[in-house]
């Protein structure tokens, strides 16, 4: 037919492949090739009102055209050298190896899902892991929001944003903590500014004077890792001055007395000593927040990436609860997710402790359900998390990795340790769209289709599930993630019918299976998603249910239905500055970059504007060390050294150094873990700094993994 009829330009509605806001846009395509994008102004009710997009959203087509897209399956001949092989060879080899481990010791395998791909392949990867006999399955939410999941679960009974963007827009006060909202999620920040225009007050707590702080009515500049003291201090004032919602606390919360006792000693003066925030500002923030009538707390990695991340989140939730800001419109807690499907990957059980729908693997009844559903015996032992897996390889316990769309070499804390661990693996599969530094260690590489070349459902940070349609053709032999995992599943012997095997013909099949086993997604069918582009907020228990905007209107999801308020005593970061390492290091991000640069690093428009990392340092510190903007410096911690250029700026607090992490700065960070959520403390550690020459910097650079690597490939 081609060539006979003139080709028509199509406008395909998709979801942005970048951050968790989940903006909609149209891809203009001609015969499956990209022609441009168009703003989705005509779809009411989407998360990006009026079709607004941030710079990443505007540049979505660029990374797809990267020259180094993976187009054929590869097999390693030695580390970092590959030959091309066929799909059938690749699938056979992967399936056979996995089968063998599954027979000997299923827990010798570790699976990674991905917050950057659809719900369907994420569901499949955990199903594959579990059917092969292990719960060792996790994804990168571990490194950004696992403390949100565990912390919110402890207080409210489930780990998701309680409300939606609409509620941010309707709030009277918005408390932003550990989150540079304007820079990380510009389109989400739109709702903060709209609230502010209506007269809402904005409170920002951050160690840096960020682009977000610029819009704050009250700015609390605390030291990295002192959030517990700050939140306790605010609650001290609220309780002392009787500003909390007594009725709500009496009816719907437990643990208030203990909370009141614990925060007793956190007087504003005491908190000032720990956090560096003036006492009167703490009082003012507490009063403003508690008396507004409708309030939202929002946070991101500045709050979660700590050894006390779990407690930080519990306190934020507690603060929201005692003010009565739960179960109502215009209120809520609102953790902002980094990647577009962090929420979905968590929902669908890409976590070592739960099946899809947060059903505990340790609960015999839930396990029985899935054993019957999938038709296999399942392990009831909680599996390994990302960081634990790295330690388990060293001990020889984990021997095989299956990594789908992940890049632990750059994203995990303490890179040097990760590198050492990966070297010891017996077998590693990497499934991705472009080469990553993690691929260096792969035995088999499986080329995946990118999000826009493929279709499926995604769940954004406000629990909104949306369908993204296929706009473009994948390059070469790249295949959709769901196809790859289901082929491997079949080849590994799971060829049963329906849910008992992997015989899928489309992502719709898989979503129907998800509907059947995930209570929150029961009514979110492919048909509904395709006809309703704005999507549906889970929980949606049946097909005629409209979805849920506000959670916990009547009761919380805890066993007794009450919010379990947290009483936590102060704990600082695991590593604090001392004589040897006198500075406090924290990591940040730039608006134009995202995750480990796999996608944004291949986008010309973004790289041009944000070409390199700059370490922010306070002018007084810089002067003492003789550092000027543009000088090369070496940042050193107990784990590694990192060369970077300096930017002298008053935006950081004295004694603090801030570096963007996208370019591999995790060689520096601490992998000390939060005991509950197992998140590493990437947001605060002790470091020292020295000015160096450009040659020294180049020398040091060699030890930092290259974010965009080049591999030798022999054509098959």
Partner 1 sequence: MARKTVFIDFSKCIECRACEVACEREHNGRSFINVFEWQEMAAMALNCRHCEKAPCVEVCPTNALYRDEDGAVLLAPQKCIGCLMCGIVCPFGIPELDVLDKIMMKCDLCSHRRAEGKLPACVETCPTDALLFGDFNDIQRMRRREFTEKAIEIAKKGERISLRAL
Our CB check for partner 1 shows the closer of 59 and 202 to be 59
Neighbours of 645 (CB within 10 A): 16
Q: How many CA atoms lie within 13 A of 91 on its CB side?
A: 16
Our CB check for ligand SF4 shows the closer of 458 and 679 to be 458
Q: Could you say which DSSP state residue 706 is in? A: P
| 641 token code pair | 């050294």
The secondary structure of 131-157, three-state, reads HCCCCCEECCHHHHCHHHHHHHHHHHC
Neighbours of 674 (CB within 10 A): 24
Question: Least CB distance from residue 58 to partner 1, whole Å?
Answer: 4
81 binds, among partner 1, ligand SF4, none (CB under 5 to 8 A by kind): none
The reply to whether 471 sits near ligand SF4 by the rule CB under 6 A is no
SS3 assignment, position 687: strand
The reply to whether 24 sits near ligand SF4 by the rule CB under 6 A is no
Question: Least CB distance from residue 671 to partner 1, whole Å?
Answer: 32
Question: Least CB distance from residue 564 to ligand SF4, whole Å?
Answer: 33
36 binds, among partner 1, ligand SF4, none (CB under 5 to 8 A by kind): partner 1
Our CB check for ligand SF4 shows the closer of 215 and 373 to be 215
* Residues 6 or more apart in contact with residue 580 via CB below 8 angstroms: 686, 688
Our CB check for ligand SF4 shows the closer of 37 and 109 to be 37
Question: Least CB distance from residue 53 to ligand SF4, whole Å?
Answer: 4
End-to-end Cα distance, the chain = 32
Strand partners, 83: 75, 714
Question: Least CB distance from residue 57 to partner 1, whole Å?
Answer: 7
The answer to whether the beta carbons of residues 588 and 661 sit under 8 Å apart is yes
Q: Show the binding pattern over residues 173-192: x = contacts ligand SF4 (CB under 6 A), - = does not.
A: ------------xxx-----
The answer to whether the beta carbons of residues 246 and 256 sit under 8 Å apart is no
The reply to whether 390 sits near ligand SF4 by the rule CB under 6 A is no
Question: Least CB distance from residue 609 to partner 1, whole Å?
Answer: 6
* Residues 6 or more apart in contact with residue 244 via CB below 8 angstroms: 238, 290, 322, 323, 324
H helix intervals, 566-663:
604-609, 619-625
* Site stretch for ligand SF4 (CB under 6 A), options 13-21, 158-166, 316-324, 404-412: 13-21
> From the list 27, 53, 229, 448, which residue makes contact with ligand SF4 (rule: CB under 6 A)?
53
By CB under 6 A, how many residues form the interface with ligand SF4?
14
The reply to whether 528 sits near ligand SF4 by the rule CB under 6 A is no
Preceding peptide of 379 cis, ω within 30°: no
Question: Least CB distance from residue 497 to ligand SF4, whole Å?
Answer: 38
SS3 assignment, position 457: strand
41 binds, among ligand SF4, partner 1, none (CB under 5 to 8 A by kind): partner 1
18 binds, among ligand SF4, partner 1, none (CB under 5 to 8 A by kind): ligand SF4
| 323 token code pair | 């003010």
Contact residues for partner 1, defined by CB under 8 A: 36-37, 39, 41, 48, 50-55, 57-59, 61, 182-183, 186-187, 189-190, 193, 197, 199, 209, 211, 214, 591-592, 604-606, 609, 649-651
Preceding peptide of 539 cis, ω within 30°: yes
> From the list 12, 14, 21, 143, which residue makes contact with ligand SF4 (rule: CB under 6 A)?
21
Our CB check for ligand SF4 shows the closer of 153 and 337 to be 337
Strand partners, 299: 177, 335
- What's the rounded Cα separation, in Å, for the pair 435 and 407? 10
Question: Least CB distance from residue 345 to partner 1, whole Å?
Answer: 25
- What's the rounded Cα separation, in Å, for the pair 237 and 79? 59
Helix (H) or strand (E) holding 95, with range, is helix 87-104
Within residues 54-73, the interface with ligand SF4 by CB under 6 A covers 54, 56-57
- What's the rounded Cα separation, in Å, for the pair 352 and 361? 8
Q: Whose CA is closest to 409, among 400, 421, 395?
A: 421
Q: Whose CA is closest to 487, among 36, 10, 87?
A: 87
Q: Whose CA is closest to 322, among 285, 348, 349, 289?
A: 289
- What's the rounded Cα separation, in Å, for the pair 701 and 333? 41
Which residue minimizes CB distance to ligand SF4?
Answer: 57
> From the list 12, 14, 16, 313, which residue makes contact with ligand SF4 (rule: CB under 6 A)?
16
Our CB check for partner 1 shows the closer of 52 and 72 to be 52
- What's the rounded Cα separation, in Å, for the pair 208 and 653? 6
Question: Least CB distance from residue 712 to ligand SF4, whole Å?
Answer: 33
Our CB check for partner 1 shows the closer of 155 and 648 to be 648
> From the list 19, 331, 336, 387, which residue makes contact with ligand SF4 (rule: CB under 6 A)?
19
Our CB check for partner 1 shows the closer of 21 and 445 to be 21
572 binds, among partner 1, ligand SF4, none (CB under 5 to 8 A by kind): none
* Site stretch for ligand SF4 (CB under 6 A), options 53-61, 388-396, 429-437, 708-716: 53-61
The reply to whether 618 sits near ligand SF4 by the rule CB under 6 A is no
φ, ψ of residue 623 in degrees (nearest 5): -65, -45
- What's the rounded Cα separation, in Å, for the pair 408 and 664? 11
Question: Least CB distance from residue 459 to ligand SF4, whole Å?
Answer: 13
Question: Least CB distance from residue 119 to ligand SF4, whole Å?
Answer: 16
Our CB check for ligand SF4 shows the closer of 34 and 357 to be 34
Our CB check for partner 1 shows the closer of 359 and 651 to be 651
The reply to whether 255 sits near ligand SF4 by the rule CB under 6 A is no
> From the list 22, 121, 159, 601, which residue makes contact with ligand SF4 (rule: CB under 6 A)?
22
The reply to whether 337 sits near ligand SF4 by the rule CB under 6 A is no
- What's the rounded Cα separation, in Å, for the pair 154 and 208? 29
Helix (H) or strand (E) holding 659, with range, is strand 656-660
Q: Whose CA is closest to 152, among 140, 160, 164, 143?
A: 160
Question: Least CB distance from residue 300 to partner 1, whole Å?
Answer: 16
Task: Return residues touching ligand SF4 (CB under 6 A).
Answer: 16, 18-19, 21-23, 48, 53-54, 56-57, 185-187
């Amino acid at each position: 037919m081609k060539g006979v009829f003139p080709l028509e330009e199509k406008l395909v509605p998709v979801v942005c492949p970048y951050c968790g806001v989940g903006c909609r846009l149209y891809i203009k395509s001609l015969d499956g090739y990209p022609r441009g994008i168009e703003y989705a102004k005509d779809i009411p009710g989407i998360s990006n009102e009026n079709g607004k997009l941030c710079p990443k959203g505007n540049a979505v087509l660029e990374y797809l055209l990267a020259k180094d897209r993976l187009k054929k399956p590869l097999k390693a001949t030695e580390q970092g050298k590959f030959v091309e092989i066929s799909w059938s060879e690749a699938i056979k080899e992967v399936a056979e190896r996995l089968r063998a481990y599954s027979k000997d010791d299923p827990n010798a395998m570790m699976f990674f899902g991905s917050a950057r791909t659809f719900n369907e392949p994420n569901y499949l990867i955990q199903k594959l892991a579990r059917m092969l006999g292990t719960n060792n399955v996790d994804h990168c939410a571990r490194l950004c929001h696992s403390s949100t999941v565990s912390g919110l679960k402890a207080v409210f009974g489930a780990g998701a944003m309680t409300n939606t963007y609409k509620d941010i827009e309707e709030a009277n006060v918005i408390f932003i903590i550990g989150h540079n909202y304007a820079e990380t999620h510009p389109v989400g920040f739109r709702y903060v500014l709209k609230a502010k225009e209506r007269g809402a007050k904005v409170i920002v707590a951050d160690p840096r004077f960020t682009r977000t702080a610029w819009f704050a009515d009250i700015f609390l500049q605390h030291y990295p890792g002192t959030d517990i003291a700050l939140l306790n201090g605010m609650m001290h004032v609220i309780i002392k001055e009787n500003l909390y919602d007594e009725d709500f606390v009496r009816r719907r919360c437990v643990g208030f007395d203990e909370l009141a006792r614990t925060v007793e000693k956190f007087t504003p003066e005491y908190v000032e000593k720990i956090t560096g925030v003036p006492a009167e500002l703490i009082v003012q923030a507490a009063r403003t927040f508690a008396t507004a009538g409708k309030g939202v707390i929002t946070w991101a990695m500045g709050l979660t990436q700590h050894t006390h991340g779990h407690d930080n989140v519990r306190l934020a939730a507690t603060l929201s609860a005692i003010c009565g800001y739960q179960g109502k419109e215009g209120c809520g807690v609102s953790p902002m997710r980094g990647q577009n499907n962090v929420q979905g990957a968590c929902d669908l059980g890409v976590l070592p402790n739960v099946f899809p729908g947060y059903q505990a693997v340790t609960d015999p009844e839930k396990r029985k359900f899935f054993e019957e559903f999938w038709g296999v015996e399942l392990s009831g032992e909680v599996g390994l998390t990302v960081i634990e897996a790295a330690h388990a390889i060293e001990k020889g316990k984990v021997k095989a990795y299956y990594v789908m769309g992940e890049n632990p070499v750059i994203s995990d804390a303490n890179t040097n340790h990760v590198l050492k661990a990966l070297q010891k693996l017996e077998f590693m599969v990497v499934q991705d769209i472009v080469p990553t530094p993690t691929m260096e260690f792969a035995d088999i590489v499986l080329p995946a289709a990118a999000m826009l070349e493929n279709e499926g459902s995604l769940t954004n940070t406000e629990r909104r599930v949306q369908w993204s349609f296929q706009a473009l053709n994948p390059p070469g032999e790249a295949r959709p993630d769901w196809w790859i995992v289901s082929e491997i599943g079949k080849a590994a012997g799971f060829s049963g019918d329906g849910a008992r095997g992997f015989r899928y013909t489309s992502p719709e099949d898989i979503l129907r299976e998800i509907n059947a086993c995930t209570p929150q997604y029961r009514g979110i069918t492919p048909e509904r998603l395709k006809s309703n582009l704005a999507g549906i907020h889970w929980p949606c228990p049946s097909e005629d249910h409209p979805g849920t905007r506000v959670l916990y209107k009547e009761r919380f999801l805890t066993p007794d239905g009450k919010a379990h308020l947290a009483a936590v005593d102060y704990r600082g970061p695991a590593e604090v500055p001392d004589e040897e390492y006198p500075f406090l290091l924290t990591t940040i991000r730039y608006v134009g970059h995202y995750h480990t640069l796999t996608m944004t690093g291949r986008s010309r428009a973004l790289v041009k504007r944000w070409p390199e990392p700059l370490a922010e340092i306070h002018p007084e510190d810089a002067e003492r060390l003789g550092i000027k903007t543009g000088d090369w410096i070496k940042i050193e911690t107990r784990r590694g050294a990192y060369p970077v250029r300096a930017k002298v700026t008053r935006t950081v607090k004295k004694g603090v150094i801030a570096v963007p992490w996208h370019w591999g700065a995790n060689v520096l960070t601490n992998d000390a873990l939060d005991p509950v959520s197992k998140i590493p403390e990437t947001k605060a550690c002790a470091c020292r700094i020295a000015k160096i020459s450009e040659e020294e910097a180049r020398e040091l650079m060699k030890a930092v993994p290259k974010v965009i690597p080049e591999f030798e490939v022999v054509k098959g």
